[in-house]
Amino acid sequence: KAKRDEHVRVLYLEVGCNGMFGNGGGLIGPPKEDRKFALSTADLVVYNDDAWALYYDMEILAAMAKDLQDSPRGWQALVAANDIINEFSVGDQKSIKTALNISAKFFAAQGGQGNHQVYAIGNCHIDTAWLWPYDETKRKIARSWSTQLDYMDRYPEYRFAASQAQQFEWLRTLYPSLFKRIQEKVKTGQFIPIGSTWIEMDCNIPSGESLARQFLLGQRFFKQHFGQTCDVFWLPDTFGYSSQLPQIVRLAGAKYFFTQKLSWNNINKFPHTTFQWAGLDGSSVLTHMAPANTYTAQVTVSDLIKSVKQHKDVAYSNESLYLYGNGDGGGGPLEAMIERLERIKDVDGLPRIKHAHPNEFYEHVEKTARDLVTWKGELYFELHRGTYTSQARTKQYNRQAELLLRDVEMLSVVAQSVAHGFA
């Protein structure tokens, strides 16, 4: 907000010469060097709080009327929406106030304590390397996370999780003042460093030692800069999960696992939502896959309904995680998503939903779930299979580099021991 003595405010617009998914032809085409973009309009407007509040109310009412057609609550939503339309008059601020009273009465009816509980966490999954240069990844991080810091000031209950120590390191180096603001929000519990690893990595091609170093370096970074390690191995977007991971996760000090990609299987649908995943040595981690089947949810009524209907273990654990916010290329939750969540957090006809730290979800599952199954061995992803047969030379060199690094490290330890008289 502007101060009384602030007569001039300078605004900066950052414009990237690329589309939503890079600067190539289609999803994976090479860059088009002569591609041009134009900024056509930019408007400064006065924000009408009541009008926007009514807009968000109507979004939820319309969605409930559509998605709950066979229930009394759906019909009640339709009646409330119709009453608002009859009351509303364009340009009449008083009619907006009256309409808000109608929607408030509808949302005042709360659900029962036995309703499914959804734990919502904002996130903006950012692929460290995909359809844009590394420099664009670094800018995406700064843009996305600075926006979330603003939301934290405006919505005290809001929680946002971000993974990948490498991205935090880029931010610390290139945007030190922004990194310090994040450290402050970590202390309040609103900004949640998560994941345990250096990046969100592939888990099939790398060697076991490579995976171990992911956790070693990641946990070390989070401890050094945030005073805490991560309990959750956070990997929503990778193409399969090696059977050695539960052991490595446990040895790294984590005990929970979240992923999403297995819900994309195109032949055999994975049969569980919340379960214990056991590795080669018998180590196990409590695992959950959000039943909304996405890590870029938009906070919609239909998503909440899916969180119940698609939960394969709801008989044994009546709760689920819900990851919302624009992702892959960053961005994160929008103000509209947070506003919608506020309206549906405890309303009759829908599951209850609340802002929460992922740890809160897992800890509650540990205490209340019963008869969870144990899945032993690899979690095989039945899609994107070509990623493991393409670019064979790159993969060959990666394995050769891993073996060379192992040899160099062993020899360096021997040399250091000799130098200190420990031969």
Report how far residue 145's alpha carbon sits from residue 135's, in angstroms, rounded to the nearest whole number.
16
Q: How does pLDDT run across 186-218, given as a tens digit for each residue?
A: 999 999 999 999 999 999 999 999 999 999 999
Q: How does pLDDT run across 104-152, given as a tens digit for each residue?
A: 999 999 998 899 999 999 999 999 988 888 898 999 999 999 999 999 9
pLDDT score, position 400:
96
Model's pTM, two decimal places?
A: 0.94
Tell me: pLDDT of 423 over 60: no
Tell me: pLDDT of 20 over 90: no
pLDDT score, position 155:
97
Tell me: pLDDT of 15 over 80: no
Helix (H) or strand (E) holding 87: helix 72-87
> Minimum mean pLDDT among 242-246, 262-266, 300-304, 382-386: which range?
382-386
Map residue 355 onto helix, strand or coil: strand
pLDDT band at 182 (very low <50, low <70, confident <90, very high): very high
pLDDT score, position 377:
96
Tell me: pLDDT of 179 over 60: yes
Strand 232-234 with 256-258, pairing: parallel
Residue 237 falls in the annotated catalytic set: yes
Strands (E), 325-387: 352-355, 374-376
Q: From the candidates 202, 231, 237, 346, give the one annotated as an active-site residue.
A: 237
Strands (E), 63-176: 117-123, 160-162
pLDDT band at 420 (very low <50, low <70, confident <90, very high): confident
